[in-house]
């Protein structure tokens, strides 16, 4: 377990919480995006208004900050967290323990993929950046842009629906490119709401990611553009 610092914060809806972060990393800065720490929060996933009564699935859970906010603000929710990096999972577990919600969380050490395992690159050429951010690089990026790799068991969207008991209330996607593979699954029909990031285009084409999302999942979900930066953005999709 890495050395951790514990900081008192409040959730998007104002409930007290404690976040565990690694000193000298971007962890605390990231916490400030989802919890009230220095005033207003970014709340890119609209957690303040999100209502979850069933299973929340967090793909690319990192240290569990989004899951923690959801569980504390939605006492009926349970969660499945998918994260490939072991040290991130250690901090995620510490966050759940510190807030008394560990019994409501299932942690999955893995990444979205079709085969028995998937290798995900992380970190960039600047080793300090790689250390500070524990960043999982896009699966479509060239390996030369990354400093390390992690080979972990693969998980499919169908696997996660099964773990959830046949239905996912809300799916959060922040996996630096794996969203395109995940959202091609027929299991999408068993998910009520999706929030997450999109990155580029699955085939590298210069088209709007939201337009591609609507073509990909528009028959089952209504897609809303939350924040479009051109090459990446945040979206919400609600079952029709």
Q: How many residues belong to the chain?
A: 240
Q: Which tokens in the block code for residue 70?
A: 């959801």
Q: What is the pTM of this model?
A: 0.90
Question: How many other C-beta atoms are found inside a 10 Å radius of the C-beta of residue 238?
Answer: 14
Question: How many other C-beta atoms are found inside a 10 Å radius of the C-beta of residue 37?
Answer: 17
Would you say residue 223 has pLDDT above 60?
Answer: yes
**Tens digit of pLDDT for each residue in 158-207?**
999 999 999 999 999 998 888 999 999 999 999 999 999 998 765 556 66
Q: Which tokens in the block code for residue 68?
A: 């923690």
| The pLDDT of residue 210 | 87
| The pLDDT of residue 143 | 42
Calculate the average pLDDT of the chain: 87
Q: How many CA atoms lie within 13 A of 131 on its CB side?
A: 6
Would you say residue 134 has pLDDT above 70?
Answer: no
Round to whole Å and give the CA distance between 191 and 157. Answer: 10
Structural domain span for residue 61? 5-239
CATH number, domain with residue 90: 3.40.50.150
Round to whole Å and give the CA distance between 215 and 207. Answer: 12
Provide the domain count of the chain: 1
Q: For the packed helices 65-73 and 86-98, what is the interaxial angle rounded to 10 degrees? A: 20
Taking the chain, what is the end-to-end CA distance rounded to the nearest angstrom? 43
224 class by beta-carbon count within 10 Å (0-12 exposed, 13-18 middle, 19+ buried): middle
């Amino acid at each position: 377990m890495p050395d951790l610092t514990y900081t008192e914060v409040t959730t998007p809806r104002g409930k007290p919480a404690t976040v565990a972060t690694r000193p000298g990393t971007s962890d605390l800065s990231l916490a400030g995006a989802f919890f009230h720490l220095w005033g207003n929060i970014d709340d890119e996933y609209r957690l303040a208004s999100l209502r979850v009564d069933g299973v929340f699935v967090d793909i690319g859970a990192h240290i569990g900050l989004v899951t923690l906010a959801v569980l504390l603000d939605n006492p009926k929710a349970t969660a499945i967290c998918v994260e490939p990096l072991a040290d991130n999972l250690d901090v995620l577990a510490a966050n759940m323990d510190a807030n008394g919600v560990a019994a409501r969380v299932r942690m999955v050490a893995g990444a979205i993929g079709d085969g028995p395992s998937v290798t995900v690159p992380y970190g960039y050429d600047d080793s300090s950046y790689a250390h500070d951010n524990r960043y999982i690089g896009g699966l479509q990026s060239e390996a030369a842009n990354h400093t390390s790799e992690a080979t972990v068991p693969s998980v499919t969207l169908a696997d996660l629906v099964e773990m959830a008991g046949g239905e996912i209330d809300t799916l959060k996607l922040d996996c630096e490119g794996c969203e395109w593979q995940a959202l091609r699954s027929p299991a999408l029909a068993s998910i009520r709401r999706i929030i997450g990031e999109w990155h580029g285009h699955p085939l590298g084409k210069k088209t709007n990611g939201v337009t591609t999302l609507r073509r990909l999942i528009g028959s089952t979900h209504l897609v809303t553009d939350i924040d479009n930066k051109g090459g990446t953005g945040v979206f919400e999709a609600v079952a029709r």
